[in-house]
Structure 1
């Protein structure tokens, strides 16, 4: 019991691998988006994730759901929080925030220390939001595949601020702010956009500065390569890629078999170990887009989370902070 408590505290404090010979960290925790329980789940480290017998026995050290969040009733979470599809952590002004989206239309920024929702909006289920990014000024970029756009919301102006700038992007699935350049990168079906943020926090603007065709169709996940700062993981329907913005070039990533590289919903690496974590549909559950396992590579391994319908899983480690 004491060990489990210590592991939970470590995960919430975002522990990183220890370097001392005697002090060995269990590794980074994992965050998963579970559509079965409609929760964002922070789980124990990959070393301690085994085949648990059902969702009530998962090693959860922290969780969040719009269904249980106070102050969100006006956004009808019973509808807007259906099929949650993103969970990321960011640091702003010394505080850790969860960024969560759901296909039902909800986008939320949550203070992980208090559970308080700092900002939230319902963009509608037809838009199908898939990811979000928190900017240093408190504004929030959102991409939506059904809507076919990237929007920059003036979230700094209030907990329900809806004013925004928008740029069309068919099949928009991924977004990330490049701290080195200040540009927003946004991933669509066929292209990767680089956008400059302008205007003011209350009236932001977006300007496309570069449009890069993808090596193949179906862009889905966009995430930083933490072991190689400045580069990005990009997943498409059939392949995985590493993208270098400075050279504007994609390099194929191979994980052993073509099946391991196909239809990946999320990908990320754990610094210190080099392990890669992916989530991809296993086509054994009630939905074609979800899975009940997370997969590790280099070294390889599978962690079964029975009873879950996972969409994405990410390392819940050192957060991306203000530049």
Structure 2
């Protein structure tokens, strides 16, 4: 999920669920929980949706499904999410993350072996995404000795530098310079499913524990200080966390 600001509804939550759904949920001031009555729009892109993003000043929604594609929904009016309709489907094997970059006005998406940037053209139902560059995420050797592309997992903003992205994939955590497109290793820790950085410098991640029926999750969120030193771990018994997010509507 992500939180985004809108002119018509204030703060909204963008959410995806592994059952195949994606939605926009109205987040009202002072309301601690939401119900289905707060859903402004929903769709079924299928393919196990993993991430969702809203294109500002356009109202379009992009959903990344690990089944191998991005789905673009566009409205006839920015203030009417009920008018969103599918206008484009783009192949991206292993699609796991999408993020809008307001500094460069790109949409970034991460999947199997690559991080792709897309140019956004058109407005409303004429909105389209066009791939204009790819960053190779490299490979790893699995337990069977087979060389495979690193699977991109998380893609998020650091909230400290508008020209940087944070990504995670099978074998580590990295920062990406969005002007030079260079990758810098932040950690060689494997199976990090989500990595965030607060504007004050504190960081957190969720690392898959590789146990039980949900090997992709963990009951623990690990926190770090601004230097990257682990501080405390918060565990909720019985939980299976997959993502961790900073509560903000900011894109970066």
Q: TM-score range by the shorter chain?
A: 0.7 to 0.9
Report the structure, 1 or 2, having the larger helix content.
1
The 8 Å contact of residues 71 and 86 in structure 2, kept in 1 or not, is answered as no
Size of the aligned set, in residue pairs, is 226
Give the structure 2 partner of residue 77 of structure 1. none
Give the structure 1 partner of residue 43 of structure 2. 121
Distance of 2:81 and 2:3 partners within structure 1: 20
Summarize the alignment of residues 109-258 of structure 1 with structure 2, pairs less than 5 Å apart.
109-113=24-28, 115=34, 116-124=38-46, 127-136=47-56, 137-146=58-67, 148-155=68-75, 156=78, 158-159=81-82, 161-216=84-139, 217-254=150-187, 258=188
Query: Could you say which structure has the greater relative contact order, defined with CA pairs below 8 angstroms and 6 or more residues apart?
Result: 1
TM-score after normalising by structure 1: 0.66
Correspondent of 2:220 among 293, 300, 314: 293
Residue aligned with 1:310, SS: coil
Give the structure 1 partner of residue 21 of structure 2. 106
Is 1:278 the counterpart of 2:205 in the alignment? yes
Residue aligned with 1:172, SS: coil
How far 1:118 sits from its partner (Å)? Answer: 1.7
The 8 Å contact of residues 121 and 160 in structure 1, kept in 2 or not, is answered as no
Distance of 1:233 and 1:289 partners within structure 2: 19
Residue aligned with 1:159, SS: helix
Residue aligned with 2:242, SS: strand
The 8 Å contact of residues 133 and 177 in structure 1, kept in 2 or not, is answered as yes
Residue aligned with 1:311, SS: coil
Runs of 4+ residues deviating >4 angstroms:
155-158
Structure 2 unaligned spans of 5+: 140-149
Structure 1 unaligned spans of 5+: 1-86
Residue aligned with 1:212, SS: strand
Give the structure 2 partner of residue 34 of structure 1. none
Distance of 1:135 and 1:240 partners within structure 2: 26
The 8 Å contact of residues 187 and 220 in structure 1, kept in 2 or not, is answered as yes
The 8 Å contact of residues 130 and 173 in structure 1, kept in 2 or not, is answered as yes
Correspondent of 2:6 among 68, 89, 92: 92
How far 1:270 sits from its partner (Å)? Answer: 1.1
Distance of 2:177 and 2:72 partners within structure 1: 24
The 8 Å contact of residues 141 and 151 in structure 1, kept in 2 or not, is answered as yes
- Cα RMSD for the two superposed structures: 1.9
Give the structure 1 partner of residue 192 of structure 2. 264
How far 1:315 sits from its partner (Å)? Answer: 1.7
The 8 Å contact of residues 166 and 206 in structure 1, kept in 2 or not, is answered as no
Residue aligned with 1:185, SS: strand
Distance of 1:214 and 1:286 partners within structure 2: 28
Distance of 2:211 and 2:107 partners within structure 1: 36
Distance of 1:283 and 1:194 partners within structure 2: 31
State which drifts further: 109-118 or 205-214.
Answer: 109-118
Distance of 2:195 and 2:23 partners within structure 1: 22
The 8 Å contact of residues 232 and 244 in structure 1, kept in 2 or not, is answered as yes
Tell me the alpha carbon deviations over residues 12-55 of structure 1, each in whole angstroms, 9 at most, x when there is no partner: xxxxxxxxxxxxxxxxxxxxxxxxxxxxxxxxxxxxxxxxxxxx
TM-score after normalising by structure 2: 0.83
